[in-house]
Amino acid sequence: MQIGWLKAEDQTVLTLHKRVITHNPRVRVAHDEQRAWTLRIASVQEEDRGCYMCQINTDVMKKQIGCIDVLVPPDIDSVATSSDVVVAENHNVTLTCKASGLPQPTVSWKREDENSFVVFKEGRYRGSPPKKVSVYEGEKMSLFRVRRKDMGAFMCIAKNGVPPSVGKRIMLKVNFFPTVKVATELVGCPIGEPVVVKCNVEAHPKPILYWMRKRERSNHHSREMLISNENFAADERQKSDYEYEMTLRIRSFDLEDIGVYSCIATNSMGRHEGAVRLYRIPGNDHNNYEIEVTSRSTSTSVSMTSTLSDKRNESKRKRKRKRAKNERMKNDQEFFKGSSSSPQLAFKYIICLPLLIIITALF
């Protein structure tokens, strides 16, 4: 009596009695010297799935069939799967994730930051309407009119119940025209005080950021680029994949710093700028202002008086004239009260009064 093991689907003989016929080193046959013949396959591979037949060569052949279903954990095909994607803002884009395994894996998508996103299904008749989801299932995912806030990492995850599940990270980058926003377009500062100007920028790809200035006291109409030095400090801070904050610090504001300051952002998509006007506001700087005027008048031999001093002197003169007028009216009232007792004195006063008024006006 001979006992053998065969591959049922193609009748390939694997073992005959105690001898292994196949050249597969992973196949072994075991016999317990009784009535049991066992086929053993080491390190089972996907190719080993199928049915096996134990056959007994007697006058009437007897056989028994056993089947193996090999489970294969999921695997993502990196060649057929999308890599990092770059798309212009307000355009549609499709991401693909191909996976294999036994049983066939299911593929799902989600954002790495777990935020929701807008998808649509492409079809012969414009597909289905867009909808907002946090998880999407399918090998192909179409994103509807991507915006700058959709920029980020998407996770493609494949699972079939056989551990481990696998995933791939796909980065979506959205290119768009730079935009510059200024919180305050008009900033005032006293002379000698520090001042800070800020601009918020949104742009992708990464922009080139810089400051330009047009001074109000300059005769030139052109602008100059500002570079950090002992009085200026220009900094930039990246807040996200596409958001930036520009900061310009003036350590000691001077008359020469009055003017329009432009924060400019430029990239391959275009250029944009915002403007901030810096002006001098009255403060504790009048002493500095008077000293500056005095030093200039000395070098040019021209007598100058500050505007503030002129205003103070004019106010003093007005108060002095008002006091003199009030005093004259008081004297006139006292005189006329006593004129009834001395008509001749009243007559003399009436004659001299016009002359006194003319002389006072002249002086």
- The DSSP annotation for 143-211 comes to E-S--GGG-EEEEEEEE-SSSPPEEEEEEEEEEEEEEEEES-SEEEE-TT--EEEEEEEEEESPPEEEE
Residue 46 confidence (pLDDT): 87
Mean of pLDDT over the chain: 82
Is 247 among the domain residues?
A: yes
The CA distance from 200 to 186, in Å, is 16
Burial state string for 313-326 with b = 16 or more CB within 10 A and e = fewer than 16: eeeeeeeeeeeeee
- How many angstroms from the chain centroid is the CA of residue 259? 28
Write down which residue in 70, 87, 111 finishes a domain.
70
79 lies in the same domain as 171: yes
CATH code for position 149: 2.60.40.10
Q: Which two tokens stand for residue 342?
A: 């001395």
Is 236 among the domain residues?
A: yes
Q: Which two tokens stand for residue 228?
A: 């950090």
Return the closest-CA partner of residue 136 out of 150, 157, 152: 157
91 lies in the same domain as 46: no
Give the phi and the psi of residue 274 in degrees, each rounded to 5: -125, 155
Is 7 among the domain residues?
A: yes
Is 291 among the domain residues?
A: no
Q: Which two tokens stand for residue 176?
A: 């768009």
- How confident is the model over 15-43, as pLDDT tens digits? 998 899 999 999 999 988 767 889 999 99
- How many angstroms from the chain centroid is the CA of residue 323? 67
Amino acid at 112: E
Write down which residue in 45, 70, 95 finishes a domain.
70
Parent domain of 52: 2-70
Is 35 among the domain residues?
A: yes
DSSP letter for each residue of 346-360: HHHHHHHHHHHHHHH
Helix (H) or strand (E) holding 15: strand 12-16
Amino acid at 294: T
195 lies in the same domain as 171: no
- How confident is the model over 322-334, as pLDDT tens digits? 776 676 666 655 5
CA atoms within 13 A on the CB side of 27: 20
Is 307 among the domain residues?
A: no
Give the phi and the psi of residue 253 in degrees, each rounded to 5: -70, 135
43 lies in the same domain as 91: no
Low-confidence ranges of the chain (pLDDT < 70): 1, 34, 122-128, 218-221, 283-321, 324-325, 327-363
214 lies in the same domain as 276: yes
209 lies in the same domain as 153: no
Classify residue 256 by its DSSP letter: G
83 lies in the same domain as 129: yes
60 lies in the same domain as 79: no
88 lies in the same domain as 166: yes
165 lies in the same domain as 192: no
171 lies in the same domain as 234: no
Residue 291 confidence (pLDDT): 29
Return the closest-CA partner of residue 363 out of 317, 315, 310: 317
Is 332 among the domain residues?
A: yes
pTM for the predicted model, two decimal places: 0.64
**Into how many domains does the chain fold?**
4
Is 293 among the domain residues?
A: no
Contact 193/283 with Cβ under 8 angstroms?
yes
214 lies in the same domain as 255: yes
